[in-house]
Amino acid sequence: MKILSVASEVFPLIKTGGLADVTGALPGALAGLGVSTRTMLPGYPSVVARLPKRARALHSYPDLFGGKAKVLGVEIDGLDLLVLDAPHLFDRPGGAYGDAGGVDWPDNWKRFAAFSRAAADVAGGAIAGWRPDIVHAHDWQAALTLAYLRYGDASAPPSVITVHNLAFQGQFPASIFAELGLPAHAMGLDGVEYFGGVGFLKAGLQAASAITTVSPTYASEIRTPAFGMGLDGLLNLRAGQLHGILNGIDTGQWNPETDTHLASRYTVRTLKHRSANRHAIETRFGLDHDAGPLLCVVSRLTWQKGMDILAAELDRIVAAGARLAILGAGDQGLEGVLLAGAARHRGRVGVVVGYDEGLSHLLQGGADAILIPSRFEPCGLTQLYGLRYGCVPVVARTGGLADTIVDANHAALAAGVATGFQFAPESGEALVDAVWRLVGVFGDDGAWPAMQKQGMKADVSWQASAKDYVKLYRSIAA
């Protein structure tokens, strides 16, 4: 079976968050099940820089939304890629979605409409000798692919759309509709129209043969007004086609036994070797060297991730005897509050502002626990990395966090099945209460390593979920 995966981020070529991890790892897991994936992504500068000199142009456009464009076929790091090389849309400094200051590009609608147009062309057979059996679009940036297929190509292959985060919907004014090249009747309630404008994600949800999101709990949550972000009505209408398939992780990239980002590598049998990583973290974050629990955070600094809740509780977390190493970037107001907290608690709280893949591995490999106080979390990957690295997750009970962590309540501890700490509601009180519970278990040198080891035994690979995707692909192809 042949899949065309369409995504705006793919690790290791371009990553701003968890989407890239998933689109970079899933093809490898599917390959073992007899499913081959070609992944289409935009030709950002970081992607074009990785292309071989003579990458083959498999399809060309004299004019794609205002400039010349080509679809280049390459293989990089085992991924079979189709890169949309369209310099007028993607060759610019800054990030994938905005300038260096984080402000969204004003022509994002055009960039991702063009990307989707080209993906729909590939799905329809634009590349000689290759046509996919299924089109799998990820998030709003790829969603319009399915609308182009729905309104353009009667023989279009069946499709899946995966929602990695319903908070990002690609909502634009109605005035852009005329430039999308869709027929007039597409601008309707069951088409691309969304609250009077054009909704890219909405259009994809409407057109897809099947909808998935990245955990079973989030699949239920988004059917409620509290989590549906305006799309719960549509998702309820399409509930029969909505599936929650848990993310896995790339257990090759994330393996404490071989991870070159660590100061010291280890296995479930040599947990004591984590102490060198712990020491390296303390040095890097300017923290005291002591025997109390070292907590970490690896996160986008946003409201979704509950980083304001965390920032407001630094004093009480420090008072509980914990130290905290925070790696994050995002909201500049939050960066300031956290840096001020670190200045107030020298030696107890350290903050590194920025995006640093290697440091994120070191934190998982040396901190005792990772805090994830998200207000909502479609799946979450950092708790899965935490499990694999013996970095005990402390999570809000929501979305995929609720699905992947076994709370250390009395019964779970007694049965030896606990893998972390869950708290609810998503409040400062509940977070601090969970930290106190952690401090209690940390002081028990039987229970604590048992919990680390139990987490390390959890299956966080793609194995089970890749099978679920194959089942879904087969069911819609039939």
Ligand X SMILES: Nc1ncnc2c1ncn2[C@@H]1O[C@H](COP(=O)(O)OP(=O)(O)O[C@H]2O[C@H](CO)[C@@H](O)[C@H](O)[C@H]2O)[C@@H](O)[C@H]1O
Is 281 among the residues that bind ligand X (CB under 6 A)? no
Q: Which of 22, 166, 280, 325 binds ligand X (CB under 6 A)?
A: 22
Quick one: 86 or 327, whose CB is closer to ligand X?
A: 327
**360 in contact with ligand X (CB under 6 A):** yes
**CB-nearer residue toward ligand X: 72 or 281:** 281
244-273: which residues touch ligand X (CB under 6 A)? 247
Structure token pair of residue 154: 């009667």
Minimum CB distance to ligand X, residue 248 (Å): 10
User: CB of 6: closest distance to ligand X in angstroms?
Assistant: 15
Q: Which residues contact 260 (CB under 8 A, 6 or more apart)?
A: none
Find the binder of ligand X among 10, 13, 19, 349 (CB under 6 A). Answer: 19
State the CB neighbour count (10 A cutoff) for residue 183: 10
Using the rule CB under 6 A, is 303 a contact of ligand X?
no
Which one of residues 96, 143, 298, 391 is an interface residue with ligand X (CB under 6 A)? 298
How near is the Cβ of 17 to ligand X at its closest, in Å? 2
Q: Is 445 exposed, middle or buried (0-12, 13-18, 19+ CB in 10 A)?
A: exposed
Q: What is the C-alpha radius of gyration for the chain, rounded to an integer number of angstroms?
A: 23
From the list 56-64, 151-159, 349-357, 414-422, the region that binds ligand X by CB under 6 A is 349-357
Residue 64 or 460 having the CB closest to ligand X: 460
Q: Is 11 helix (H, G, I), strand (E, B) or coil?
A: coil
- Among 108-116, 170-178, 372-380, 446-454, which window interacts with ligand X (CB under 6 A)? 372-380
Residue 413 dihedral angles phi and psi, to the nearest 5°:
-65, -45
382 interacts with ligand X by CB under 6 A? yes
Confirm or reject binding of residue 327 to ligand X (CB under 6 A): yes
> Is residue 12 within the footprint of ligand X (CB under 6 A)?
no
| Angle at 251 (CA atoms; ends 435, 257), nearest 5 degrees | 80
User: Which contacts of 107-112 are long-range, i.e. CB under 8 A and separated by 24 or more positions?
Assistant: 108/170, 109/170, 109/172, 109/176, 109/198, 109/200, 110/65, 110/66, 110/176, 110/179, 111/42, 112/8, 112/140, 112/141, 112/142, 112/144, 112/170, 112/200
Task: For ligand X, give the closer residue by CB, 209 or 360.
Answer: 360
The beta strand positions in 100-227, using DSSP E, are 134-138, 159-163, 171-172, 193-194, 197-199, 210-213
Residue 393 Cβ vs ligand X, minimum distance, rounded to whole Å:
12
> Is residue 357 part of the contact set for ligand X (CB under 6 A)?
yes
Q: How far is the CB of 222 from ligand X (least distance, A)?
A: 12
Q: Nearer Cβ to ligand X, position 214 or 456?
A: 214
Q: Which of 4, 7, 9, 18 binds ligand X (CB under 6 A)?
A: 18
Asked if 23 interacts with ligand X (CB under 6 A), we say: no
What distance lies between CA 389 and its chain's CA centroid? 19
Q: How far is the CB of 169 from ligand X (least distance, A)?
A: 13
d(CA 29, CA 284): 35
Q: Can you give the length of the chain in residues? A: 478
**Binder among 193, 377, 403, 407 for ligand X (CB under 6 A):** 377
Binding string to ligand X for residues 152 to 181, with x set by CB under 6 A, is what? Answer: ------------xx----------------
CA dist list (Å): 193 to 125, 171, 197, 384, 473:
28, 10, 6, 37, 28
Residue 220 or 439: the one with the smaller Cβ distance to ligand X is: 220
Within 191-220, the residues that bind ligand X by CB under 6 A are 214
The minimum distance between CB 349 and ligand X, in angstroms, equals 16
Kindly state the tokens that stand for 239. 């509930």
Tell me the closest approach of the beta carbon of residue 179 to ligand X, in angstroms: 29
What is the layout of strands, in order, in the sheet containing 79-85? 56-61, 69-76, 79-85, 36-42, 2-6, 134-138, 159-163, 210-213, 242-244
H helices of 229-381, in order, are 232-237, 274-285, 307-312, 314-319, 332-344, 357-366
- Looking at 356, 426, 433, 468, which residue binds ligand X (CB under 6 A)? 356
Q: Is 2 annotated as a binding residue?
A: no
Q: Is 200 helix (H, G, I), strand (E, B) or coil?
A: helix
Q: Which is nearer to ligand X, 163 or 192 (CB)?
A: 163
Nearest to 298 by CA among 343, 342, 363: 363
Task: Identify whether 425 is preceded by a cis peptide bond (ω within 30 of 0).
Answer: yes
Tell the smallest beta-carbon distance from residue 299 to ligand X (Å): 5
Question: Assign residue 127 a region: left if phi > 0, alpha if psi is -120 to 50, beta otherwise?
Answer: beta
Nearer to ligand X, 193 or 403 (CB): 403
Query: Which stretches of the chain bind ligand X, using CB under 6 A?
Result: 17-19, 21-22, 164-165, 214, 247, 298-300, 327-329, 355-357, 360, 377-382, 400
Could you list the residues known to form a binding site, using ranges.
15
Could you list the residues known to form a binding site for ADP-alpha-D-glucose, using ranges.
15
